[in-house]
């Protein structure tokens, strides 16, 4: 295809972008970042571009540089820092913790930078309704981000409390890739629909792989379970209010790895439904990108050159002074007569303004007394700002982050409301 200057010639700009955080390992005395090839292969095959976010110190402060973000896939990695959830209630003794560290040495080395990056991305997805697929550790990150908790070790906390016949081995280092165990699939869930042709009505069971020693303990309130292991451990969950791939909605966590239930050197899987999670996830990512592009089509104010922008600011300030005088019912601030004249001249020259607007300006001038109330209000606003700075200075990083998230959500809601109103106005004009 011949090259052109259109941005559409760059596939990375045309195709939706799925962020995937790498995992760090030590190789030849150096750290190497990697992502499992099956994840990447499936994302690409269904029509999205994987964008790898390197697990590098400080990246959590640069997540905005990866915009636009149309989807997030989080997968393998070490145990999540127990301090990020309610771990002190686990009842595990120091001796048992030491034993866990020895048995699962490759997973128990906490990676706080990866935790910070992935929790930041998970919360971003939840705030903006960006499609999110969590596999294994990624499902645990999603649950913790929403206030859920984890078993620090399934064998120590769950298995020992149930009858031996119900106990399940969730990780087998001697048969790492071949190990499977049963899960019970919940009816009328996405997992049920994906594996429907492989399920028996009386059993509703499939065999899944398993590479974990931790798992969901308390499921966050917004989620609904999709599958359970015989020992009761939740093996999959989703948010039914944020699941509609055709509309760009997808928030889900799977404890098992459907992408690794793939036959050696083949495109065949243990079950035909295995790749469905990736297929539906990418479908949601594509729909989300289209919706995002549609939002970007909202008309924006034209850009002005420097001279016109200066004039605009001068006129806006003139109207602002007049408004404050009108609201206060007081006189004109000293030395601001010339600034008011600018607004008056603009109104006289602008025949597009209504008679009502002109009368309003006259009202503003007619009610002028003095500027004492204006100055008092200004001092009050300054005092409020000073107090707010003191209060926020005492808030924790987490509290400030939640506050910013709240205002970000409100900003998105305002943008959506504005978009709807603009579209309604366009529709009315077309009908007229």
- Active site amino acids: 136, 257, 259
Q: Is the CB of residue 257 less than 8 Å from the CB of residue 136?
A: yes
Cα separation, 336 vs 314, in Å, equals 12
Q: Is the CB of residue 154 less than 8 Å from the CB of residue 171?
A: no
∠298-302-304 over CA atoms, to 5°? 155
Choose among 129, 17, 19: nearest CA to 63: 19
Q: Give pairs for 266-273: CB < 8 Å, separation 24+.
A: 270/180, 270/207, 271/195, 271/198, 271/206, 272/197, 272/198, 273/191, 273/194, 273/195, 273/196, 273/197, 273/198
Handedness of CA 107, 108, 113, 114 (dihedral sign): positive
Provide the token pair at 164.
């031996």
Handedness of CA 423, 428, 431, 432 (dihedral sign): negative
Provide the token pair at 259.
């992408």
Cα separation, 121 vs 19, in Å, equals 9
DSSP secondary structure string for all residues of 13-81: HHS-EEEEE-EEEEETTEEEEE--HHHHHHHHHTT-EEEEE---TTGGG-GGGG-S--EEEE---SPPP
Strand partners, 216: 150
Cα separation, 220 vs 122, in Å, equals 14
| Chain CA centroid to CA 249, Å | 12
Residue with tokens 């034993």: 99
DSSP secondary structure string for all residues of 279-337: HHHHHHHHHHHHHHHHHTTS--PPP--HHHHHHHHHHHHHHHHHHHHHHHT--PPTT-H
358-374 burial, b if ≥16 CB within 10 A, otherwise e? eeebeebeeebeebebb
| Chain CA centroid to CA 220, Å | 16
* Element of type H or E holding 133: strand 132-135
């Amino acid at each position: 295809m011949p090259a052109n200057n259109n941005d559409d010639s760059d596939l990375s700009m045309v195709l939706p972008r799925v962020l995937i955080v790498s995992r760090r390992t030590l190789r030849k005395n150096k750290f190497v970042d990697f992502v499992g090839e099956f994840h990447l292969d499936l994302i690409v095959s269904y029509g999205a571009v994987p964008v790898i976010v390197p697990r590098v110190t400080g990246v959590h402060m640069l997540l905005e540089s990866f915009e636009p973000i149309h989807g997030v896939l989080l997968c393998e990695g070490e145990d999540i820092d127990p301090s990020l959830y309610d771990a002190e209630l686990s009842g595990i003794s120091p001796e048992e913790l030491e034993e866990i560290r020895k048995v699962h040495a490759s997973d128990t080395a906490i990676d706080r930078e990866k935790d910070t990056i992935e929790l930041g991305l998970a919360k971003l997805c939840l705030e903006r309704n960006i499609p999110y697929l969590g596999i294994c550790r990624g499902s645990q990150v999603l649950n913790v981000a929403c206030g859920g908790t984890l078993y620090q070790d399934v064998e120590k906390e769950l298995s020992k409390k149930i009858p031996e016949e119900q106990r399940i081995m969730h990780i087998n280092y001697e048969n790492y890739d071949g190990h499977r165990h049963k899960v019970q699939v919940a009816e009328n869930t996405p997992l049920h629909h994906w594996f429907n042709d492989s399920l028996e009505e009386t059993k509703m069971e499939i065999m899944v792989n398993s590479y974990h020693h931790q798992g969901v303990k308390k499921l966050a309130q917004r989620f609904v379970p999709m599958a359970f292991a015989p020992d009761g451990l939740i093996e999959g969950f989703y948010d039914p209010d944020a699941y509609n791939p055709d509309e760009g909605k997808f928030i889900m966590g799977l404890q098992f790895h459907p992408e690794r239930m793939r036959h050696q050197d083949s495109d065949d899987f243990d079950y035909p439904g295995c790749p469905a999670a990736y297929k539906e996830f990418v479908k949601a990512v594509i729909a989300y990108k289209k919706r995002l592009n549609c939002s970007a089509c909202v008309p924006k104010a034209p850009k002005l050159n420097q001279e016109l922008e200066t004039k605009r600011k001068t006129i806006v300030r003139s109207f602002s002074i007049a408004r404050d005088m009108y609201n206060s019912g007081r006189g004109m601030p000293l030395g601001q007569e010339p600034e008011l004249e600018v607004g008056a001249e603009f109104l006289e020259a602008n025949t597009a303004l209504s008679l009502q607007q002109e009368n309003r300006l006259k009202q503003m001038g007619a009610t002028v007394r003095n500027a004492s109330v204006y100055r008092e209000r200004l001092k009050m606003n300054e005092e409020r700002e000073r107090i707010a700075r003191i209060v926020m200075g005492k808030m924790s990083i987490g509290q400030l982050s939640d506050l910013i998230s709240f205002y970000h959500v409100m900003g998105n809601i305002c943008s959506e409301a504005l978009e709807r109103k603009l579209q309604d106005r366009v529709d009315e004009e077309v009908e007229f």
